[in-house]
Structure 1
Amino acid sequence: MARSIGGQLGVPGVLLVLCVHATLAGAADRSLLGVERVGIDDVSVPADRPGFGDNAALVPQGHYVAEGGYRFDDNQGGGSTHTVPDVLLRTGIDPNVELRVGFAGYVINAPGHDGPGDMFVGAKIRLADEGRYTPMLSVIPEVSLPTGDDEVASPKASPNLRFAWGKTLTDLFALSGNLNFSEVIDSSGDYNLETAASLSGGFSLTTRLSSYIEYYGIFPSGDKRRTGRDTHAINGGFAFLGTPKTQFDVYAGSGLNDVASDVFAGVGIAHLW
């Protein structure tokens, strides 16, 4: 059964309206939420994409980051899935807090059922700045709302809590990762805890071009007949700064067991203003 806010086109429409309003407010000294804007002349876009894990860095106070893209999955057992556009809008309301709203994208299965994914809302809170020997650490509380089609999205709200960290080791190399805890719906409609973890190495190739390689695993708890088996995958890609405030990315990956997609790939963009 399909559900949405203001119809199936309402979810991306709401995000589009928010982006337009935020852009119109961009020339002012305060954001759309009335938050004082800090300078960002020396700040590049702190994108959360393209990897599985989120960036520990926050959007500067009073500013916005809009990011989104397209993903293709070559599924185990045949068939494919296209997801477009996955959209995330973030805004900094404090030096240590940002708000987030997003749309998981329209899912096209071949063969299979097509439909809109869920919308989600949350925040990112910085717990610790990066130190000489310690990483930057942030926590991301988020709730996936049951606004999509039950055939391709969750029939109930799904809360999750993610811890994101990052540590610059040299001028050319950094490590980052996530530890995630989610309440997901199994095939019987019951909540079950799902844990996920990722580890990523980032490489600065030039002042504008960077690359990364990442492993991630997803570990459902409970009866595997209802929750599914563990997922293991690896992916990597490139990010290019067309301007200091606009990032373009491309990535590809492969499952390491027969649960994850055989191959997946995508492209995207993120912009800071």
Structure 2
Amino acid sequence: MMFSSRIIQISLATIILSVSADRLNAEDPEFYQSHGTLFLWSSAPTVSGGPDLDEPLVTDRPDFTEAAVTVGKGVSQLEFGYTYTSNTDGSESVESHSFGEALLRYGILDDWLEFRIAVFPVQELTIFEGSSNSTAGHEDLYTGFKIALTPQAGFLPEMALIPQMNLPTGSRSFTADRVEPGLNWIYAWEVNDFISTAGSTQGNRRIDVTTGNAYLEMAQSWTVAYSLSEALGAYTEWFALIPSGADNVHTQHYFNGGFTWLLNKNMQFDIRAGVGLNRAADNYFLGTGLSIRFP
């Protein structure tokens, strides 16, 4: 399934044209009060959203789809974990360990805006025709901002936008050597107390490691989350990485699922596992992590 940057532009224009006129009317004395999101839906101007520190934290892990809600002004949230990935292609096999996966989210200016920064130390073991080679280092620094756009109002989704980029600060074996900007659009619905669903559409610049040429990588995902109890949650998800204009990179499809365990309202443990659905994808991955909110 292909999505172009033109589709993203048209969709964002529709969002802007659909927001509540109340938020655009500076004569309203409540105009400058935070509603948790940048905009309100014109058909439901009294419905607000955003973070709620009295409720359990909302995390961006362990699934591929980010959350559509921010952490809240002045709130820090640290999400970190470990992922093991295995892939075999003919006579070559690659095992990768991603340590830490530390993502720091911090709310700035208002409840609808957060700053994000992440670093991923990695170790990779490659075995080819009986010979092995191990490489360790860290990937390029990730940074960005999450903008909470709208709350959910019935069938109208809760949405967020993440302008993001990778900066070429990684180790020689893991850096792209160039800035990789991108945009991530997230949309989510809470169906009832048991089930919720969300999707994301991304467009990111990537560098072909074989030729050094830049290309556009689209990423599409859809996740379904289940509240099994007050503390235990689960999810299932599909996502795909879709290159456009790449020389030697092919579309990858994945399916994954996992569980979350709420230790308290500010701390959550997670586990996950996933498999590649086509030949270009990695064979499988396993991971675990912990998220902590500092109100």
TM-score under structure 2 length normalisation: 0.76
Quote how far apart the aligned CAs of 1:147 are.
0.7
C-alpha spacing 1:39/1:48, structure 2 compared with 1 (3 Å): closer
Name the residue aligned to 1:90. Answer: 105
Counterpart CA distance in 2 for 1:41 and 1:156 is: 38
Name the residue aligned to 1:202. Answer: 225
Counterpart CA distance in 1 for 2:215 and 2:175 is: 16
Matches within 5 A, 1:7-18: none
Contact map agreement 1:76 1:259 (CA 8 A) in 2: no
- Does residue 52 in structure 1 map to residue 64 in structure 2? yes
- Does residue 261 in structure 1 map to residue 282 in structure 2? yes
Counterpart CA distance in 2 for 1:81 and 1:66 is: 23
1:21-79 deviation line (CA, Å, top 9, x unaligned): xxxxxxxxxxxxxxxxx996512112100011111111011111000100001113223
Contact map agreement 1:221 1:227 (CA 8 A) in 2: no
- Does residue 228 in structure 1 map to residue 249 in structure 2? yes
Q: Which amino acid aligns with 2:66?
A: D
Counterpart CA distance in 1 for 2:282 and 2:51 is: 42
Choose which of 128, 131, 134 in structure 1 pairs with 2:156: 134
Choose which of 81, 99, 122 in structure 1 pairs with 2:144: 122
**Aligned pair count?**
234
Counterpart CA distance in 2 for 1:47 and 1:261 is: 25
Matches within 5 A, 1:1-273: 41-77=53-89, 78-93=93-108, 94-111=110-127, 112=133, 113-186=135-208, 187-223=210-246, 226-273=247-294
Q: How big is the alpha-carbon RMSD for the aligned residues of Structure 1 and Structure 2?
A: 1.6
Counterpart CA distance in 1 for 2:159 and 2:174 is: 32
Q: Which amino acid aligns with 1:214?
A: E
1:69-97 deviation line (CA, Å, top 9, x unaligned): 00001113223111101110001111110
Counterpart CA distance in 2 for 1:140 and 1:107 is: 28
Name the residue aligned to 2:21. Answer: none
Contact map agreement 1:105 1:118 (CA 8 A) in 2: no
1:121-144 deviation line (CA, Å, top 9, x unaligned): 110001111111111100001110
Q: Which amino acid aligns with 1:265?
A: L
SS of match in other structure, 1:76: strand
TM-score under structure 1 length normalisation: 0.82
Q: Which amino acid aligns with 2:151?
A: D
1:149-204 deviation line (CA, Å, top 9, x unaligned): 23223221111100111100111000111100001011322221110100000000
Contact map agreement 2:88 2:283 (CA 8 A) in 1: yes
Q: Which amino acid aligns with 2:68?
A: A
SS of match in other structure, 1:75: strand
Counterpart CA distance in 1 for 2:57 and 2:123 is: 27
Quote how far apart the aligned CAs of 1:110 are.
4.1
5+ residue gaps in structure 2?
1-49, 128-132
Q: Which amino acid aligns with 2:121?
A: G
Q: Which amino acid aligns with 1:207?
A: E
Counterpart CA distance in 2 for 1:213 and 1:42 is: 27
C-alpha spacing 1:43/1:227, structure 2 compared with 1 (3 Å): farther
Counterpart CA distance in 2 for 1:268 and 1:165 is: 24
